[in-house]
Amino acid sequence: MSQPTEKSVKLISNYVEKYCERTGLNLHPMKDVSDAVTTGLAMHLDDLKRPLCPCRFYPDKQQAVAEREWLCPCSDMKTYKYCHCMLFVNAEGMPVTEHLPEDHEGRQTYGDIADPAPEKMHRKLPN
């Protein structure tokens, strides 16, 4: 497995730190988890010129980039403040699920997990 460039690692690390501040969330408390996701994002930044979510399978990564749904922050993160990669989480290392629709897999998997900073939403929630 190749490694991302130092430049991409720095760009992603800086982005992730600022996004945590902006959303009121934390990096996963297990460093291996956050490192794996940020490394994957940096590798995609090198290979695809975009931070495509590394936690999903894509039959065609270029098509996924064009569709933009899984570019970090992904649509779920922007809309519901839910990170299925577990990169952006609460202080206990759990993903925010309180804003998700009832039938969303994240809410079904983790239950109702409160947003520690609801005043820091990226986008207005759907009604």
CATH assignment of the domain containing 42: 3.90.460.10
Domain span holding position 106: 6-110
Extract long-range pairs of 49-56: CB within 8 Å, 24+ residues apart. Answer: 51/12, 51/15, 53/84, 53/85, 54/85, 55/84, 55/85
Look at residue 41 and tell me if it is in a domain. yes
Look at residue 126 and tell me if it is in a domain. no
What integer pLDDT is reported at residue 122 of this predicted model?
62
Look at residue 116 and tell me if it is in a domain. no
Torsion-angle region of 81 (φ positive above 0: left; ψ -120 to 50: alpha; else: beta): left
Q: pTM for this structure?
A: 0.91
Cite the active site residues: 55
Task: Decide the pairing of beta strands 88-89 and 26-27.
Answer: antiparallel
**How many structural domains does the chain have?**
1
Look at residue 127 and tell me if it is in a domain. no
Give CA–CA dist 39/53, Å, rounded.
11
Look at residue 103 and tell me if it is in a domain. yes
* Tens-digit pLDDT string for the chain (127 aa): 589 999 999 999 999 999 999 999 999 999 999 999 999 999 999 999 999 999 999 999 999 999 999 999 999 999 999 999 999 999 999 999 999 999 999 999 999 999 999 998 766 555 4
Give CA–CA dist 100/4, Å, rounded.
33
Look at residue 49 and tell me if it is in a domain. yes
Residue closest to 73 by CA, chosen among 112, 15, 27, 113: 15
Look at residue 122 and tell me if it is in a domain. no
Residue closest to 20 by CA, chosen among 9, 30, 28: 28
